Amino acid sequence: MWADLLPVGRMGSGGFRRFAWTAADMACREWFRGEAATRGMDVDTDRNGNLWAWLGPPGPDSFVTGSHLDSVPGGGAYDGPLGVVSGFAAIDALRARGCTPKRPIAVVAFTDEEGARFGVACLGSRLSTGAADPARTLALTDSDGTRLDEAMSAQGHDPVHVGADPGALQRIGVFVELHVEQGRALVDLGAPIGLATAIWPHGRWRYDFAGEGNHAGTTALADRRDPMLSYAMTVLAARKQARLAGALATFGKVTVDPGGTNAIAAGVTAWLDSRAPDEATLTDLVTAIAAQATERAGRDGVRLSVTAESETPLVDFPAGQLDWAATALGDPPRLATGAGHDAGVLARAGVPTAMLFVRNPTGVSHSPAEHADQDDCLAGVAALTELMVRHAC
Ligand code: HGY
Ligand code: MN
Ligand code: MN
C-alpha cells in the first residue's frame, strides 16, 4: 500500500505536493478506492468530498479511523497517509484475528486537511461539522484565483450540497486518527506510540503591506515607502514576541508584488502561523505582533491590513475517551500537540475521538525528511487494530 501511494505527487526534492482538487489529489483518491475495493469495502464520497470506505453498511456506532491524503507544499510522506494506510492495514489485521465485526467500520480520508491551496485548514471536516460556512468556503481562492467550487467542479465534484453533514457524524461511534508525531516527545520517552491529550489553539493571519513601487536605482531612501522593510521587521518582531510568550509564531509564506530585482516592492503579502498552549496567550501574542507591525508600517509610510484566515480553538480530548484507549493499549504516554488535525475538529463537534501518535525519530514534519521507522508504524497498526477490535468485534 505504502509503495503504491509513494509516487503520487512526489517532487524532485523528495517532498510531496498533493493539493486539494488537483491531479495529485485525484490520484490519491484513485489509490484509496483501489485499496478499499481490494478489501471489499464500498466507498462513498460525501457532499464535502471526504472519502469513506465502509466495511459493512454505514450504520450507527461505527468505528471510524483514517486521516488525510493531502500535503503541505514539499511535505513528508507520513503526515496524513500514515493514518489512512494504517486504517486499511488494521482491517487486514482484524480479519486475520478472525473477527466478524458486529458494528460498521470505516476508513476515512478527509479532504484538504492542510489548507495548502485555499488557505484554511481541515476544510473537509470543518464543512461536515458545520464549523466552516459553505458560501464563504466555496468562495476561497487559490494563488491563481481559482475558487474552491470551481476546483471541485473541474474534478467532477458538484459543490451544490457542500455543508454540514450531521448524518455522517451521527454514524460515528468513535473516531480514532493515527498520525505520525510531529515532534520528539515519544523519542525522548522511548515509546513507539502515544495518545493525544490536547491540540493547542492556533491560527493563520494574512498580512497585506501596501507601499509604493518604484525604481531601485533612482529612488532616494528617504523617498521610499518600502513594504519589504515593514515585513522584515514584522518577522523579527513575531519571533521575539513568541519567545517572550513561550509560544510559536512563523512567517513561512510570502509573496512580493511585483517581485523585480530592480524594483522597490509595491506590496508584500505574508502569512503568520501562530500557536500557543492556551487561547489567552495566543490572542495576546497575535495582538502584540500586529501592533508592532502597524507601528513600523506607519513609520515606513506603508498601509497594513491584517486578516484572520483560519482560527482553531484549543481542543481537549475528553479524559473519558482517552481512558478507554489507554486501558486497551497498556497506558501509553499522553501528549499535547501544536499540530492541528481533523480529529480535533470532530472532537470539538462532540464526536467521541482519540488520536494515536506514532514515534518520529527526528520529530521533523512538513518536510521531505519526515520519517517513522517501520517497526513503530507496525506498532501503530497493532494499537489501532486493538481499538478497532474492542469497539467493533
Ligand atoms: O498545520 C497543522 O497543524 C496541520 O498540519 N494542518
Ligand atoms: Mn500537516
Ligand atoms: Mn496531518
Rounded to an integer, what distance in angstroms lies between the CA atom of residue 102 and that of residue 251? 49
Give dist(CA 68, CA 50) in Å, integer: 9
Q: Exposure of 83 by Cβ count < 10 A (0-12 exposed, 13-18 middle, 19+ buried)?
A: buried
Choosing from 312, 345, 380, the residue where a domain stops is: 312
> Are residues 288 and 329 part of one domain?
no
Residues near 95 by Cβ (< 8 Å), separated by ≥ 6? none
From 312, 329, 354, give the residue that closes a domain: 312
Find out whether the beta carbon of 193 lies less than 6 Å from any atom of ligand 1: no
300 within 8 A of 230, measured Cβ to Cβ: yes
Query: Does ligand 1 have an atom closer than 6 angstroms to the CB of 325?
Result: no
Domain shared by 287 and 376, yes or no: no
The CATH number of whichever domain residue 119 belongs to comes to 3.40.630.10
How many domains, in total, are found in the chain?
Answer: 2
Ligand 1 atom with minimal separation from the 365 CA: 5
Q: What's the 223 CA to ligand 2 centre distance in angstroms? A: 43
| Statement to judge: residues 339 and 290 lie in one domain | no
pTM summary value: 0.95
> Using a 6 Å cutoff on CB, does residue 113 contact ligand 1?
yes
Q: Are residues 302 and 214 in the same domain?
A: yes
The domain boundary residue, chosen from 287, 312, 337: 312
List residues bridging with 207 in a β-sheet: 270, 306
User: Of all atoms in ligand 1, which is nearest to the CA of residue 72?
Assistant: 5
Furthest-apart CA atoms within the chain: distance in Å: 78
What residue type is 236 in one-letter code?
L
pLDDT tens digit at each of 393 positions of the chain: 999 999 999 999 999 999 999 999 999 999 999 999 999 999 999 999 999 999 999 999 999 999 999 999 999 999 999 999 999 999 999 999 999 999 999 999 999 999 999 999 999 999 999 999 999 999 999 999 999 999 999 999 999 999 999 999 999 999 999 999 999 999 999 999 999 999 999 999 999 999 999 999 999 999 999 999 999 999 999 999 999 999 999 999 999 999 999 999 999 999 999 999 999 999 999 999 999 999 999 999 999 999 999 999 999 998 888 899 999 999 999 999 999 999 999 999 999 999 999 999 999 999 999 999 999 999 999 999 999 999 999
The C-alpha cell that represents 178 in the structure block: 493515527
d(CA 88, CA 342): 18
Q: Which domain holds residue 346?
A: 2-200+314-392
Residue 308 shares a structural domain with residue 319: no
CATH number, domain with residue 272: 3.30.70.360
Residues 324 and 362 in one domain: yes
Distance 160 CA to ligand 2 centre (A): 28
Q: Do 233 and 216 belong together in one domain?
A: yes
Ligand 1 proximity of 112 Cβ (cutoff 6 Å): no
Tell me: do 216 and 196 sit in the same domain.
no
Is residue 190 domain-shared with residue 238, that is, in the same domain?
no
